[in-house]
Structure 1
Amino acid sequence: MTHPHNVNPAVPPITEEDIAEFLLNTPDFFERHAEVLSSITITSPHGHRAVSLHERQAEMLREKIKGLEQRIMDMVRHSGENTAIGEKTHEWARRMLSVKEPIKLPAAVENGMRELFDVPQVALRVWGVGPVFASETFARGVSDDARAFASSLTSPFCGANMGFEPTQWLPQAAQVQSLALLPLRDGAIDSTEPAFGMLVLGSHDPARFDAAMGTEFLTRMAELASSALSRLR
């Protein structure tokens, strides 16, 4: 038997990485030593019992399949939700296009948001309107700061109620926990054109308009509302 003092200190000890590399580079090892593979047992995460390597691989495969099934279910659910939103957006646009008198457009925009998208509180302001609309509620009560703020937005703002001036346009602003601010401008929402209005959506649910939510549909809604409301200018 080799005495410990006779071990060559210049030879490094075998590590787990060495063993793993050997097995990866020697795929026929377990073919020559099948008894080793069959005798390996590891701890199962379910109950901490000892299971064979084959059984553990089967458990991992079942877990992977379960995760893939959940992802597919989420994709189907999101697809259904997106289809429903698309249909509601189509109906909202149809209602706006059917308005013959421009002065009725702001009400059509706001009512459509409440009725089709179940938004509890909605407010709309448009500035630079024609003289015939200047005395309407939707054309009054907007400061220069609010106009500049609207022009600074190149995408819908979603998040908590931080006390922005446009929030005060909502009928019950104190109850709003989350909101979406949609700038209205000619052309695409991310253009350099100054905004001529803003659509404000408020909810008592803090998660309704979360800062991390996607804004693709809100962007489309802002551009549709902008096209319709341009008739007021």
Structure 2
Amino acid sequence: MTSSSPVSPITEDDIAHFLANTPGFFERHAELLASVTIASPHGQRAVSLHERQAEMLREKIKGLEHRVMEMVRHGTENAAITQKIHQWTREVAAVRDAARLPRAVENGLRTLFDVPQVALRVWNVAPEHAGLVATQPVSEDLRLFASSLTMPFCGPNLGFEATAWLPEAGEVQSLALLPLREGAIDSADQPAFGLIVLGSHDPHRFEATMGTEFLSRMAELASSALSRMR
């Protein structure tokens, strides 16, 4: 006498697999769609499968609407920033006296982009620019640090040497450090010839997780302008 092997019980996965692979099932048993009820996520009442599908569709549409609104908002903000960068670039490019470039770069960043505190230093400049505030000596460690940056640094004020350049350094809670170098900001083989410091009393103004695409472009534009001082 041979014993028959036990039959495995049908699982929910088996049923789901069957329905997914048998599209004609509900065509042959259309009455089930009207009779099946499930719990509504918006209360204790039971709703039909059709109603639940409609609710899910409405929720999906609402989620897509929020995403579209967010995309429009970001697009508007990016367009405004792009316009400010264009204006700032135009103003800096109009400066004929190279000695006035550091002030023009700083003022544009401060006024157009609402950055409370801005300062910069450039080194290895032509002798005629040696007496400017922006060309005051900096340590070799800071030069090496600036050269190590291949993208803007954004984060809390950790007591960087460059923070001391800011007029009210003690109030700075977050900052951005933009290296100045010939060519692209990520050209690691090119040593930095300067550094821009953006400081804010708001600890969330410059965060490590923020995007730095615009800051990178601004650093490259400032580098192109300030390279005239070398």
Class of the TM-score when normalised by the shorter of the 2 chains: over 0.9
User: In the TM superposition, what are the counterparts of 1:44-83 in structure 2 within 5 Å?
Assistant: 44-83=40-79
After TM superposition, give the deviation of residue 9 of structure 1 in Å.
Answer: 5.9
After TM superposition, give the deviation of residue 32 of structure 1 in Å.
Answer: 2.1
Task: Count matched residues.
Answer: 226
* Larger CA deviation: 31-40 vs 120-129: 31-40
* Larger CA deviation: 71-80 vs 19-28: 19-28
Mapped pair 1:160 → 2:156: yes
Match of 2:17 among 3, 18, 21: 21
List, as ranges, runs of 4+ consecutive aligned residues in structure 1 with deviation greater than 4 Å: none
RMSD over aligned Cα, in angstroms? 1.2
Mapped pair 1:224 → 2:221: yes
2:98 aligned partner: 102
C-alpha distance in 1 between matches for 2:101 and 2:81: 21
After TM superposition, give the deviation of residue 39 of structure 1 in Å.
Answer: 1.1
- 1:163-211 per-residue CA deviation (whole Å, 9 max, x = no partner) reads 1111121111121111110000111111121000001101111221111
TM-score normalised per structure 2: 0.95
- 1:49-89 per-residue CA deviation (whole Å, 9 max, x = no partner) reads 21111001000100111111111111111111111111111
2:138 aligned partner: 142
SS of alignment partner, residue 27 of structure 2: helix
SS of alignment partner, residue 79 of structure 1: helix
Match of 1:90 among 86, 103, 111: 86
C-alpha distance in 2 between matches for 1:48 and 1:150: 61
Mapped pair 1:211 → 2:208: yes
- 1:106-155 per-residue CA deviation (whole Å, 9 max, x = no partner) reads 10000001110000000100111111211221111411111100000011
TM-score normalised per structure 1: 0.93
2:168 aligned partner: 172
Q: What one-letter code is carried by the residue in structure 1 that aligns with 2:216?
A: T
C-alpha distance in 2 between matches for 1:128 and 1:210: 31
C-alpha distance in 1 between matches for 2:65 and 2:224: 42
SS of alignment partner, residue 106 of structure 2: helix
C-alpha distance in 1 between matches for 2:127 and 2:37: 84
Any gaps of 5 or more consecutive residues in structure 1? 1-7
Any gaps of 5 or more consecutive residues in structure 2? none
